[in-house]
Structure 1
Amino acid sequence: MQNKRSISFQIIITVIISFAVLFLFFSVLTTELYYRNVTAIMQESQQHSITQLNESFDVFYQQLIYTLIQLSGDSTLKQYLTKVPEDNFEYYQMQRYVHDFLQTYIGFFPNSNVHLILYGENGQTYTTYNETLYLEETGILEEDFVKQAERNHRRLGVSYFHAGLTPYTENDEYMYIAHALYDPYRSKYYGTILIVIDETCFQNLYSDLIQDNNHFSVITEDGLVISDNKSELLNSVDTELLAIAQKNPSGIREYGGEKWIPSAVYNEYFNFHIIQLTKYSAITSKVFPSIIRILELCCIAQFIVIGFLVYLFQKITRPIHRLSIAMQNVSGKDLLLRPEPMQFTGCSEARLLGESFNEMFGKLEYYTKKLIQEQGARHTAELNSLQHQINPHFIYNTLTSIKYLSLAGQRDKVITGINSLTKLLRKTLGDIRETIPLKQELDLLQDYFQIQQLRYGDGIRLNMNIREECMNASVPKFFLQPLVENSIFHGFSTNNPNGTISIYATISNRLLKLEIMDNGVGIPPSILEHIMDVSVENNKDCLTRIGLKNIEDRIKMIYGPDYGLSITSTAGYGTQVVIYLPALYPEGEKNNEESAKDSHN
């Protein structure tokens, strides 16, 4: 199997990905443009159809207006609406005449279920129904749309869904248009015309256009659906459909959880929107197979081209691949062991790389040895510098303590202090190790603390709470003394120090945590903020800063940047220093938990 990092593999993958991306890009672009063009053509065709449909609604409206005008201007009809019949014979004669007269106007609405109802001031009702109807008994004359027409005879009152007025039609709903008949000579209304329109009148206008994949709807400005090829939507408010109609739709829209191609037109006569929706899936189902066929042919052509390019690239990069294998075999060996010069064949570039490789390895051997020596010397020098820095710091403070004992005339304590200092220096200066077990570090700290107690007495106390498994853990040599020293000199009163220094050590998740706490006066925030900055000018606590910075630098130099110390302090309560070190042990020693496991096994 070919190496995934080889130049030939990467070139081949780059070519394949490039072809795939270009293929996908142009496929998506072509498909998107094709769908957009088809959608635009479909929407243009829909718009043409719905414009013609709108003209049909206009003609229907004009027929209604023409009928109203003719009925309003007929003097004979006016007479029959104002005259009270003298007897039944005249009543039936008037009914028969008006009924036949109204039937002539019904002919203006072929194939439409339209009826006319007239009501006159004489209380007579005339209809195109074959049933006798007393309009005042139905209560419709008191409804808002009729009253609206009576308030202004130049406007029409409309009720889109109203129950039928005859026993035969009372279970159905119809659209009612009301027009008041006004006599200008008497300045008085003498009757009302009601045009009863079945919803099928509207549906007949677009019934020839209905297919399985489209949807026609007529909706008012309030979102009320007054005509729809889906009967279940009639007399419902559809704000989603209204929003599509009002936004001059184009492109593709979501409606009812499906994608549609919408077209809409506003009819100014009826004041409603006519909408046609065509399912987007109807287009995709017809276009998709053709696109798939085109993409299949493109894929075949692309595979042929990629196969040829793969063969060509492998032939060109084969010598470089062999050279990379040779370099990989050498890189797995010790760089200080120079291999035999290697012979490379192939293209001129590969031979040149081979010669350069042999020459490079010779120089690499020399510089590697030199670098190892320099790094070892520099590391030793840095640690020695830090160690030599802490020694004068410690000696200065210890001799200061002995000086105060001498001034106090305590000759025995001075001798004891000098002996303790000599013993302590012999342990620290004679030991060249960077790290020692924690228990030895604690012994050194006890020797130092005895010297300080010679000066300050039992007013200062040292408590150590160290878990047993921490005792053998490796720590930097003599790193606790500066912390304890800071607590004595700065945490407690300089005249008569009195306080307790506590040291805790625990191990968790292979991390050694040491806490040094005192119950002294604490560190002011202004000093704590710059406690580790030895470059601060006019610093009265310079030795304190050097000591802390020294510990921080030694920890990071020995263990890495992930370890170090942090200081927190509260005025009046004391100071806490937390040190984090890796839980490491000198070779040949184990902590108690491991020893217990070994003994158990």
Structure 2
Amino acid sequence: MRARLLVLYSLVVIFPVFIIGIWVYSRSTALIEQESAALISNNLVNVSDNIDNMLRNIEYISLPLLLDENFQKKVSLLKHLDNTFSYADFEIQEELKHFIFNMSFSSPYITSVYVYNPYSDTMLLSAGNERVLSNESLHNLPWFSQYKLISEQGTRTEAKWFASQAAEKNEDNNKYILCYYKPLIDIKTGKIIGVAFININEAAISQLMGRMKLGKTGYSFLIDDEGIITSHMDKSLIGQKASDYYPYINSIIDEEGGGYYKHAINREKHVISYYTSPLYGWKYVAVIPSSELTSGSFLIRDFILIIYFLSFVLGILGAFLITRQFYQPMETLLSHMRYVENGNLSKLIQHKRSDEFGYAFDRFNEMITKLKTSIEEVFMHNLLKKEAQLKAIHSQINEHFLYNTLDCIYWMSRVYKVDDISHLVSSLSKYFRLNLSSGNDIVKISEVVELIGYYLDIQKIRYKNKLSVDIQVDDSIRHCRVLKYLFQPIVENAVYHGIEKKKGNGYINICFNKVGNRIRFQVTDNGAGIPNQKLEKIMKCLEKDDLPTGDNFALQNINSQMRIFYDNDYSINISSIEGEGTTVTLEIPILDEMEMKQSV
């Protein structure tokens, strides 16, 4: 029992802590992941704004120069160096180079500026010692092929940013660049007279994106509106189609705005955050493993494990103490129940508890006390019953002899005409016949009245004219059944202790009345009465549960019979004035046949 209580309490305490811990950990992990992803998305927005501002500033810087009428005129006159190259051509090239050289220094992000005349297939550059690229060098520029592609697509009039590999020879070994392609349109004719290429170092973009905290293995990259990687930690991927390396990009390539979603990469869950630039339509993408994103939850996990361990230890300890608190008083109760089982009713539980167990102990002690009292009462009742049965058996031995003898005396008194003796013998014979016949202890009130009448007839003959009797019976209770031997002893006491000690005539009044659902039997005499001190002694004896002894045997016997038969639902009262008389009153409940059988 104790082990089961210990296990049950431990489960009740520890299991909810375990479930709550798992829920808190999973919930906190999800919240941390959500908040971290939202933070990365916000960082992408900031990075996008910074890069957009940088690129837009470069575009704004180039506008005044590219729209300059003198600059456009000189671009249209740009020629390759050849045998016919004149000093005037040299001056044009120097002026143009001065223009684009100043432009390249207008922003720290610009690495080089190229101006191209498509009609003469001539390229002027701002960096290096060469003024003009040869046709061979021009067509070998990696980003120049992008221009050719743009030209073939018929979008030459639109400005565009694209990523490419730089010409290492002429751009200070900046291997990867972001190139701004800007057609030069004659402000007078509206015709394209040339193209400007403004190159910035991709490292500037990468540096801004690298400011985001993406854990140990997280990374970010930038793709343009056509899905081409523009910036990446792995420089070899710049200029490549993003979907070829990151298939999951296809799910967001057409998405606007930003957000994040989860995706398994190499069987490991990753959180992919993205944001679309509203200015250029480029997508900023950050990829980070969920395990790194939620690394802060490991502290929560460890804390929960510590709490769980402490809860486990405290739960076991608490379970032990609580089960001990419960089991110890239960063991005490069980041990005393074993005493009762073995017949020991004197062993009461000694305690000082005021809780529920204390209440149970008190009720147990009370139950044992009542059980002990009931057993003693049943024993006494059986003892009295056996005594009465022995007396009845003893009387029945000589019953026929007594009846025959009394009958003989009766007829002899009739022959010799002695009427007093004849009447006495007749009453005595009837009295014995009613008292001894059938052996029933439960009789009707009418039979009790008849028995008392025969007894008083005998006493009247004995006391001659000294005794007068009045018996009153409520007809509604004549059929009620009562104990046969409750009433005559009280009448006997009235005769022997009252009338016999009185000088002069004596009077006894006997009443059987119905009071509510109870029977009241009252005997009043005008005899010698009882002294107050003796009356108090008698009443104290009646309050005790001792066996009947001594002078008050009759009253104690009556009291014991009523207590056993009526289960304390009775009353007995004695009032007396010394020299004037005594009144004895009994009140008992009216019982039906079923209740009579149960009481017997």
Report TM bin, short chain: 0.3 to 0.5
Find the structure with the greater CA-based Rg.
2
TM-score by length of 1: 0.46
